[in-house]
Chains A and B, each alone.
Chain A
Amino acid sequence: MSRLRWNDPLPQATDLPVLLPAAARLARNSAAQRATDAFSLHLLPAHGVALLVLFLIGCGWAEAQVQPGQPSILATLWKWTPVLLRGFLFNLAISAVAMAAGTIVGLFLGFAQISLLPPVRKGAWLTTHFFRNAPWLVLLFYCMFLLPFQVTAFGMTIPIPDWIKATLGLSLPVMANVSEIVRGAIQSIPTTQWESAASLAFNRRQTLWMIIFPQCIKRMLPPWMNLYAILTMATVLTSIVGVNEMMGLTRQALSAENRSGLLLAFYSYVLFWFFLYCYPIARWTVRLEARYAVND
């Protein structure tokens, strides 16, 4: 047998039949990995330290440029913190709504990807891959400019605020990624489970709901949490289209202060809040991954 290079596809068959189950398992796992690990957030304590250093440098830089009579950088940050935190809460709200919407639709799309009906399966595949590979910012702009600013139904005019449109825009890539997580998890369950369910006279829907999907949940949880952390960080993109979340408010604060030298301190301060929120999620994800890898 010739030697495999790291990026060669795994062999479908091996000349050592005893290796077949292992080869099948490896192929399955790597397929699932590819499906879910497209971009994985690997936050380390070192990142926090680096951020802190950046923040301190920013503060020193700003402090050095303080004119007589101006408040210190820390006092300025402190003054703006309530406003910025309100913006941060807005970020979290957007991320929660986008995650919920994207997850619900993504679940359906994921199931559609394994449908036995070819048109459904292919349509779902196309939708998933389109929204999964489109840049998030592009999707955001599309939603901002293609959706109307108000809808009229039953004689009532309901305005659609920008932040709703932006949330919708972010939920599209979430939907596509959840769809792929679902498909990957379902396909990582050994086919012998399908077979033994079939031999016990379960139908396809029962097999999926009672036997396959429950086993998928713990496999889906880590990539799903990872996706949430990425989404939370991506909510700052909405500032570009004019949503008043933390990043947008920071820019406004900076222009209100109208002082040079605050930039680095303020932005690293914002980053620090995001790190504080996302780091525990990332750690927890890694812990879950390790635990499930052992138990499988």
Chain B
Amino acid sequence: MSAASAEPIVDIRDVHQSFGKVEVLKGISLSVPKGGVVCIIGPSGSGKSTLLRCINGLVPIDQGSIRVADFYVHKLVTDQEKIALRKEVSIIFQQYNLFPHKTALENVMMAPVHVLKENKDEVRVRAVVLLKKVGLSAKADVYPGELSGGQQQRVAIARSLAMRPEVMLFDEVTAALDPETVKEVLNTIRELAQEGMTCMLVTHEMRFARELADVVYFTDGGVIVESGPPAELFDRPVKERTRAFLSQIL
């Protein structure tokens, strides 16, 4: 693999972040090559969501550096600068957060039309294709309130894809879904990863992480305890803490 020589698209170095007096991230470093798939696992409260939020500038960091493509995230101050970054980095949340007053198609079209100022008819064509890709052609004109959780989450993925981001961040996107619908959403993400989208996933789906990830990071208490290819991390964890976590979850 040439990934080692290529410049990583996401480069995080020694990131510290705290909410008030509580230090949530205590020196996180990781990097993702272009087209790479990285999974982050770890117990609740270990700062996984916070890390993803830092990457697209929703949460400011106290120390360290984050670079995504050409953006030095820790140096972005104004809204405009952050907006430029967010055009390249999409985050998808556990709770889908679709806009309830817009149909599925409108949800997908909104950002490209109003943020990227693209031609509405062209965006519509692309949005229809994206909804088809996530298997929801029939639901284009339906409001989020009438969609199941899994369907809403797939619309949310299509909505992010419509921005043609370089990197997609997934924050426990299947955690609120029932086992049946988890599969639909995972299939969608699998396709994306296989098409070469750079993905960072926070997930509790260990089987999925094992199958898809190039590297798995295990975080606890705001630090990365251990990382490695899934086969190593899952089957031969080195650290005691990792072993304890995996034995609980598997």
Residues of A whose CB lies within 8 Å of any CB of B are: 17, 192-193, 195-204, 206, 210-211, 214-215, 295
Contacts and interface: CB of A to CB of B under 8 A. Distances in A.
Contacts of B145: 295
Given A201-B111, A203-B83, A193 B99 contact: yes
B147 interface: no
Nearest to A116: B79
Interface string B60-94: 00000000000000000001101110110011010
Contact of A198 (B58, B98, B110, B159): B58
Given A192-B93, A206-B114, A206-B115, A199 B86 contact: yes
Given A200-B159, A201-B111, A202-B114, A211 B99 contact: yes
A214 B102 CA distance: 10
B97 A201 contact: no
B49 to A, nearest CB: 11
Contacts of B91: 199
A201 B156 CA distance: 14
Interface residues of B, number: 28
Contacts of B101: 214-215
Contacts of A204: 79
A206 B99 CA distance: 13
Given A196-B93, A295-B145, A201 B99 contact: no
B47 to A, nearest CB: 16
Interface of B: 44, 56, 58, 79-80, 82-84, 86-87, 90-91, 93, 95, 97-101, 110-111, 114-115, 145, 156, 159-160, 163
Contact of B87 (A195, A201, A206, A210): A201
Nearest to A210: B114
18 contacts: A195-B97, A196-B99, A198-B82, A199-B56, A199-B58, A199-B86, A199-B91, A200-B86, A200-B111, A200-B159, A200-B163, A201-B84, A201-B86, A201-B115, A202-B83, A202-B111, A210-B114, A215-B101
Which 3 pairs between the two chains have the least Cβ-Cβ distance? Answer: A196-B97, A201-B86, A200-B111
A215 B100 contact: yes
A173 B114 CA distance: 37
Contacts of B79: 203-204
A218 B98 CA distance: 18
B138 to A, nearest CB: 23
Contacts of A295: 145
B58 A201 contact: no
B83 A201 contact: yes
A199 B168 CA distance: 11
Q: Which of A196, A201, A204, A210 has the most CB of B within 10 A?
A: A201
Contacts of B163: 200-201
A214 to B, nearest CB: 5
Contacts of B156: 196
Contacts of B83: 201-203
Contact of A192 (B82, B97, B160): B97
A192 B49 CA distance: 13
Q: Which of A198, A199, A210, A215 has the most CB of B within 10 A?
A: A199
Nearest to B115: A201
Contact of B115 (A17, A193, A195, A200): A200
Contacts of B111: 200-202
A191 B97 CA distance: 10
Contacts of A198: 58, 82, 86
Nearest to A205: B79
A255 B112 CA distance: 70
